[in-house]
Structure 1
Amino acid sequence: MGTKKIIAICQSGGEFRTGDDGSLVYDGGEAYAVDVDHETRLDDLKQELAEMFQYSVDSMLIKYFLPGHRRTLISVSREKDLQRMVHFCEDSDQVEVFIVNGGMVAANAPEMSGSRSNMISISEAPVLPDTPLVTAQADDTIDIEMDMANQLNTDKTICLTKDEKNPTVAMQWQNTITGVNQRFSSFPEFRDALHKYSIAHGFTYKFKKNDSQRVSVVCKAEGCQWRIWASKVASTQLICIKKMVGIHTCEGTTLKAEHRAGRGWVGSIIKEKLKLSPNYKPRDIVADIEREYGVQLNYSQAWRAKGLAREQLHGSHKEAYSQLPFFCNKIIETNPGSVAKLTTKEDSSFHRLFVSFHASISGFERGCRPLIFLDSTPLNSKYQGVLLTATAADGDDGIFPVAFAIVDDETNDNWHYFILELRSAVSTSQQITFIANFQNGLKETLCEIYGGGCYHGYCLHYLAEKLNIDLKEPFSYEARRLMVQDLYAAATASKLDAFERCTESLKAISPEAYNWVIRSEPDHWANAFFAGSRYNHISSNFGQPFYGWLSDANELPITQIIDALRGKMMDLYYKRRVDSSQWETRLTPSMEEKLKSETAKAHSLQVSLLDAGTFEVRSESVDIVNVDHWDCSCKGWQITGLPCCHAIAVILGLGRDPYDFCSRYLTAESYHLTYSESISPVPNVEKPVTIESQEVEILVTPPPTRCPASRKKRKHGGSSDIIKRTLQCSNCKGLGHNKKTCRMAQEDNEEASEPVLLLTDVPREEELTDSFAV
């Protein structure tokens, strides 16, 4: 029988479910057939299965059911286990084998795991009169001789299982401590192995001695004899277990000791998950550790462990600040022409950092419209801070980062610093239009630094938010929505009469809102009055994708936040440079579509010559076009940079090409110039500070930590996100309260609870007569 082959149906990737009769059924996954016999070696079988399922040989577990018994899984971990499997299943000619990666099995499978009692129990098996109860230590080798199996009838099966107190993921740690003479390279390695061993076997321990020369450990349960002595091997760095009592004499209930959930151990466990999921939440860590290891954590333990794991993956937040001088030098060295300036306070703590790469500076100056969006967003890193950004729009209306800064707080002084550095880094002969709100002294700062060389367009999203907040009356949700809608319509109206119609509509809803709009300086936000060129952009949240890049880097050390942004910019510039090399149009794709749309409208328009260079164009309205000045009374040409349908009608009538009257910033050629330069990687971010050119070493410390009253994440949404529904009472239909706090309802309740009139309170007959007398 030794040479008889059995077909092993090997399955993995599915999950177990329990039938009504208590038997286990395996659903899903992949299945392969493998021949096995008594001559098959376990190592060879594991290697073949590892190649099939792409698993690691070291972490792979092999399990099977005994014939006719599908309630308990049997593990194959040694050569004798494999031989028994072949012997037990040779009469059926095939066996189902389940391959588990990393010790993980389905949550609803009754899997075997390490037992605190260190005993193996016989279950589901009648004990023969001449057969003693088989027991052994959990760490000892247990051999079931084949003649014992032969003594049993076919319907009597011995199933060796361990107490199922701990999750199966810890099974791989059962042999991290094997006994006397086991060696380790260091005490930390020994302590880590001991910690895992205790979790796998469900007990807790305490140190009697724990120094640089020896470690003595005992079970934490009172009176238990389990203990280990380990010490250094003379004249070496090796650690060796000298004595060990491996049998527990305590009762066997798993102790819940908090030291088992130390942040170092939890951090090492969750590190790989955190690498794949940077937003791994502490509450998920708590649930996963309890489910997989049987160790209970509280939220703060999980939070601290996450911080430690992040430091192990990405380095120390504190050390990152000390690396900033070196990092700034590396930016300039690897990207010549870039600007990277670090400012510290008098106590050498971090204050602010300005960064603008040469590719960004060159791209803006050579190919972008003179239009910059200023915005900010808070950081969630350990030492907090705020990211200030200056972004532009490329010829295809895509975001183009120009510069950014990380500052300790969003203050007037830090905004002044950022705009001053921006002015120094980016130069252009054109007047720049800025779109930003007017908080934090931005209005005064732009006027001071740029003087008359810039225009300041207020961010309309911020303006609408402020209108909604400043309105005192309890307007309904619908009324507030209509007011914001009218504000946006007034801002985008290109003519004065259209602007006035929108504001009059707003006045009909609320005179208060109308007065607020008139006092809000429409010359800074309404197309009918604004003197700058916004190219149809009215909100500073144009740079919203830039903040999306922070989602995976927001909690990283400061140097890695900067490098993550650099990497995103590098990839973006490269991708757009490659994609645009395939274009065959004169304009960028989005602008090409807009020009074609306007050209289609132009064919139905009537054009009349007024005088040299000036034309009247009739459609539903009458507009005046001056081709020489690139001007149309509808203002569409001036606002977008593309000729409107009225201008195109005139241009075509003159036999000219509309492409010759498009802004150069919207051409494919300018787009190529925008992305002609590349951003290079910045290597050795983690290298310590060594600046040869300076005699005194620069030491930058983190900014003081603080807990501000509110660090609400900045919303960068549209107008629909501004208005929240107002509370409306179901009793009186009033706004700003509910039925419970309604005054009218309270008055009704008071009337209903008035005392009953007594006989003495009823007026006499003569009094009634007097009261009704005429």
Structure 2
Amino acid sequence: MRRGRCQTKSRVIGSHVKPYYMDVKRIHKPKNIINDVRKEFGVNISYSKAWRSREKALDMIRGGAEESFQLLPSYLYMLMLKNPGTIAEIKSDSESRFKYLFMAIGACLVGFRSQMRPIIAVDACFLKGKYLGSLFVATCKDAIGHEIPDLVFVSDKHKSISKAVLTVFPNALHIHCIYHISQNVKAKFKHENVHALFYKVAKAYRESEFHELFNELERYDPAVGTYLREAGFSRWARAYSDGKLFDIMTTNIVEYLNVALVDAQPIDMYRFNVKNGNSGGIVDLKAKTCTCRVFDFDKLPCRHALATARSRNIDPYTLSSAYYQIEALLCAYADPIMPVGSQADWIVPDESASVNLLPPATRRPCGIRKTCRIPSAGEEKRRVKCGRCGQIGHNRQTCSNPISLDEKKEGSSKSAKVDHV
């Protein structure tokens, strides 16, 4: 507690706060450790010591990072043994240091090949452990066991993802996540209405509706239209996606039935002309399409198709895609994912247990870790503009630029008015 005298080591403090980390859902930050030590022992410790104590406590519970990397080959062997069909592979460099790991659980692959919708969402996040790295995740929604014409990939604008999709799945459609594009629109253009209007443009079904909304967006700022044109309509606009997208939001057919108060006039055995003011549509029950394009994209009957089904006493649920049926859900999750069990019960062959796998050479630098979200590829950071001096990079509260004489006079006049009131 005095200058020149050492405090208790972080390992001792870590053993004291270890119970706080037994529950993985509980959050106990370094500042909480600082408060705990101050209240219980009357001692002030630094943030860095509290952070090291937290790391020591986690190591006592979960084991060190180095031990975990060494255990990976054996763990993956047991994972594949317990879950048939699982694919897992580790790559290391010439010095036996970890490079990357690929893993696909067998039960997930079965679901991928059965009744899932043909959309693959791809994204990555940075790992927060001792050694630098990232977790790359592909959420698959395929319906059969090979590449199909309607296969769609959704990701940010990272070039490596585009290259990989084009190489492995050359016939698949690759679109960009509209959330990331909307964040760019919000960061680049400061119009309040543009951000919300962009979602309406992106989700429009008909090209006529798309262009009507897009023209409205361009009236706010032509630069927004230029930016979105350069991104490519086929990359983000539903109306230009060739009908391969599925609406991943839950749609309640019963609610559609309540608003399907329109009449259907037959054209032939399968096609019907449904009139509903200016928003009617021509429905083809055999092809399961409608000129409003909602039926085409969502693979769920639109209000025009529901009106047709009602007039012909057809069960509307039979018009929806098999991907939405209960049987598809049960089939996709039929196979369980088995845990590997206690390490003490593992029986691992020498070829897996004897692999010497070291952690990566890159380590996280010292200091306080960043807590702000790191933008994805192609997503630009929002730039803060000072309301006092008008410059970019800081706000009014942190502004250190000198105040002009006019600004001083304006400020004094405002204070005078307040005093007078």
- Map of 2:315 onto structure 1: 657
**8 Å contact from structure 1 (residues 261, 296) kept in 2:** no
| In 2: Cα distance, 1:707 partner to 1:355 partner | 24
**8 Å contact from structure 2 (residues 205, 238) kept in 1:** yes
- Map of 2:273 onto structure 1: 616
- Map of 2:416 onto structure 1: none
**8 Å contact from structure 1 (residues 323, 688) kept in 2:** no
**8 Å contact from structure 2 (residues 91, 100) kept in 1:** yes
- Map of 2:373 onto structure 1: 713
After the TM superposition, which residues 359-758 of structure 1 pair with which residues of structure 2 at under 5 Å, given as runs? 359-392=107-140, 427=146, 429=148, 431-452=150-171, 454-469=172-187, 471=188, 476=190, 479=191, 481-537=192-248, 594-602=252-260, 604-620=261-277, 621-685=279-343, 691-693=349-351, 697-707=354-364, 712-714=372-374, 727-729=386-388, 746=404, 748=406
The 3 A distance-change label for structure 1 pair 714 and 675 is farther
Structure 1 ranges of 4+ moved more than 6 A: 254-257, 686-689, 708-711, 722-725, 739-743, 749-752
Task: Tell me the SS of whatever aligns to 1:367.
Answer: coil
Number of aligned residue pairs: give it: 400
**8 Å contact from structure 1 (residues 359, 677) kept in 2:** yes
Task: Tell me the SS of whatever aligns to 1:382.
Answer: coil
| In 1: Cα distance, 2:331 partner to 2:64 partner | 39
Report the CA distance between 1:287 and its aligned residue: 1.8
Task: Tell me the SS of whatever aligns to 2:18.
Answer: helix
Instruction: Output one character per residue of 1:132-177: Cα deviation in whole Å (capped at 9) or x when no partner.
Output: xxxxxxxxxxxxxxxxxxxxxxxxxxxxxxxxxxxxxxxxxxxxxx
| In 2: Cα distance, 1:392 partner to 1:449 partner | 15
The 3 A distance-change label for structure 1 pair 710 and 282 is closer
Q: Which of 63, 74, 88 is the aligned partner of 1:326?
A: 74
The 3 A distance-change label for structure 1 pair 258 and 664 is farther
- Map of 2:418 onto structure 1: none
After the TM superposition, which residues 35-114 of structure 1 pair with which residues of structure 2 at under 5 Å, given as runs? none
The 3 A distance-change label for structure 1 pair 625 and 292 is same
Structure 2 unaligned blocks of 5 or more: 411-421
| In 2: Cα distance, 1:279 partner to 1:505 partner | 46
Task: Tell me the SS of whatever aligns to 1:351.
Answer: strand
The 3 A distance-change label for structure 1 pair 741 and 262 is closer
Report the CA distance between 1:466 and its aligned residue: 2.5
Task: Tell me the SS of whatever aligns to 1:261.
Answer: coil
Instruction: Output one character per residue of 1:161-211: Cα deviation in whole Å (capped at 9) or x when no partner.
Output: xxxxxxxxxxxxxxxxxxxxxxxxxxxxxxxxxxxxxxxxxxxxxxxxxxx
- Map of 2:84 onto structure 1: 336
User: Is 1:308 matched up with 2:27?
Assistant: no
Instruction: Output one character per residue of 1:226-279: Cα deviation in whole Å (capped at 9) or x when no partner.
Output: xxxxxxxxxxxxxxxxxxxxxxxxxxxx97885451122212111112224653
Task: Tell me the SS of whatever aligns to 2:132.
Answer: coil
Q: Which of 263, 272, 276 is the aligned partner of 2:19?
A: 272
| In 2: Cα distance, 1:307 partner to 1:687 partner | 28
Report the CA distance between 1:527 and its aligned residue: 1.2
Report the CA distance between 1:444 and its aligned residue: 2.3
| In 1: Cα distance, 2:243 partner to 2:170 partner | 14
Task: Tell me the SS of whatever aligns to 1:384.
Answer: coil
- Map of 1:281 onto structure 2: 29
Structure 1 unaligned blocks of 5 or more: 1-253, 396-422, 539-589, 717-721, 753-774
After the TM superposition, which residues 95-244 of structure 1 pair with which residues of structure 2 at under 5 Å, given as runs? none
Letter matched to residue 713 of structure 1: R
Q: With a CA cutoff of 8 Å and minimum separation of 6, indicate the structure with the bigger relative contact order.
A: 2
Report the CA distance between 1:611 and its aligned residue: 3.9
| In 2: Cα distance, 1:627 partner to 1:433 partner | 25
Report the CA distance between 1:486 and its aligned residue: 1.9
Report the CA distance between 1:298 and its aligned residue: 1.9
Report the CA distance between 1:723 and its aligned residue: 7.0
The 3 A distance-change label for structure 1 pair 700 and 687 is farther
The 3 A distance-change label for structure 1 pair 675 and 350 is same
Report the CA distance between 1:437 and its aligned residue: 1.3
> Which protein is bigger by CA-based radius of gyration?
1
**8 Å contact from structure 2 (residues 130, 363) kept in 1:** no
Calculate the TM-score normalised by the size of structure 1. 0.47
| In 1: Cα distance, 2:401 partner to 2:107 partner | 62
**8 Å contact from structure 1 (residues 394, 671) kept in 2:** no
Report the CA distance between 1:688 and its aligned residue: 9.7
| In 2: Cα distance, 1:735 partner to 1:282 partner | 35
| In 2: Cα distance, 1:281 partner to 1:351 partner | 30
Q: Which stretch shifts more, 385-394 or 642-651?
A: 385-394
The 3 A distance-change label for structure 1 pair 738 and 319 is closer
User: Is 1:263 matched up with 2:10?
Assistant: yes
**8 Å contact from structure 2 (residues 34, 46) kept in 1:** yes
**8 Å contact from structure 1 (residues 367, 394) kept in 2:** yes
The 3 A distance-change label for structure 1 pair 352 and 629 is same
| In 1: Cα distance, 2:344 partner to 2:54 partner | 20
| In 1: Cα distance, 2:387 partner to 2:11 partner | 52
Report the CA distance between 1:506 and its aligned residue: 1.4
The 3 A distance-change label for structure 1 pair 355 and 524 is same
What RMSD over aligned residues (CA atoms) do the two structures have, in Å? 3.5
**8 Å contact from structure 2 (residues 70, 357) kept in 1:** yes
Letter matched to residue 312 of structure 1: M
Instruction: Output one character per residue of 1:683-723: Cα deviation in whole Å (capped at 9) or x when no partner.
Output: 244899963247x931111012345797853579xxxxx97
| In 2: Cα distance, 1:750 partner to 1:664 partner | 70
Report the CA distance between 1:741 and its aligned residue: 8.0
**8 Å contact from structure 1 (residues 340, 356) kept in 2:** yes
The 3 A distance-change label for structure 1 pair 379 and 446 is same
Letter matched to residue 493 of structure 1: A
**8 Å contact from structure 1 (residues 643, 658) kept in 2:** yes
Task: Tell me the SS of whatever aligns to 1:343.
Answer: strand
The 3 A distance-change label for structure 1 pair 260 and 519 is closer
The 3 A distance-change label for structure 1 pair 313 and 687 is farther
Task: Tell me the SS of whatever aligns to 2:292.
Answer: coil
